[in-house]
A and B are shown apart, each in its own frame.
Chain A
Amino acid sequence: MKFKIKFADQIVGLFILVALAFFVAIVVLIGANQRWFAKDYGFVTSFASAAGLAPGTSIMMKGFTVGKIDKLTLNANNTVDAEFHIFDTYYEKVREYSILELTVSPIGLGSQLLFHPGRSEVRLSEGAFIPTAASPEGQTLIEQELVEIPPKDDTITRLLANVNPLLENTNKTVVTVNRTLTEVNRALAGQSTGPLGDIVTDASAAAGDVRARVGGLLDQVSSLLSELETISANLVATTDSIRDPTGLVPRLLDPSGSIKTFLDDDDALYKKVMSIVGEVDRSMKSLQGIISGLNSEMPKVAGLLNETRTAIQQAQDVLEGVRNNPLIRGGVTERVQQESLYRAMREGSFE
């Protein structure tokens, strides 16, 4: 007889018993892992809404499951009463001032119920009420720093925490840029009393002064030039007369000519020439004084031109920065140009 047939009873018995032993072991392991034989401590709390909560929701503390939600009930005050239990392993964490916090993922990855232990040595008894972080009682405990709340350790929360200061800085920058633009506009309109307005006013005044001074100088120079043109024309005519053999010089050299008569005038001609020379000398001195005055004004003019150029460059940089900033691109309201009125509305009545 074959071995299997001969010992069929034993083989089948062992086959079934081993399976039963494994089955029992698996059930016991499941029970041990799922706390069938452990004592849990029940507590109660209240939520404004049961959204994100369900019986069986894990209560987490620093990444560890310390308990679970047992029951949720909508009460007469339209708030949600919740019964939950804390594992005996973590019962010592349930102290006075402890709170629960329901955090919802900002990117739709569900919610998490966190347990924050209180900063007290008094252990809460079973069945005690533990407030939530969103409740006024919980807020008070947090403000009084009676609760140990660890920093949020998930990346999204940390990123969001960093985004707020960035947004505040961006808002401040936008406000500053708006103020700058307003100041620039007011300064350019001549309405500003600040440093930029002073610079623009000074530059404008300097430019006007320079224009006035240069205009005066140019008038003087042009009159001098016209005088010099006249003199030059006279000298040219004189030279031409001297070069002409039949012209003025032979007639002047002729003893019977009129030159003798002309020169024999008791130095009247000489005096006249000398007076002309004296006038020319004074004119030259006056021109020299004007030129020296113009030279003394040139550094100021150059300085004013530099300041003007610097101010214009700064204004250009600010405008370019504003134009290139993506955060406020399109944020400045387009200025509507007011058409000038050629005719006042009531003008007709007074014609």
Chain B
Amino acid sequence: MQFEVERTTVLGRPALSVRGELDLATAPRLAEAFASQLSQQPQSLVVDLTDTTFLDSSGARQLARIARSAADQGVALEVVCPRANRPVRLVVDLLELRAVVPIVESPSLMENEVGP
């Protein structure tokens, strides 16, 4: 599968859908897409790994960097990585990425999106 970072929206939030293999070679492209999204100063952002077929330590570290810089800029980041995507989820879990960013099964409603 060709690697691709697609800009989409999930539940009204800007999202980056990562398809294919996220590794040493492709991690810079995720970084570019993320930087471009961040420059729009969104309140929140979703990184969707549902269609990510492979994640190596370099890719995982890129996710970690993204999580850090989102936190630094006050952007509510959420990483979607279903347990069904076992190979990818295990790498995410190994690094304990959830210490810096919520790892969720599917996109969740943000509090500020729940109307009165």
A binds B: no
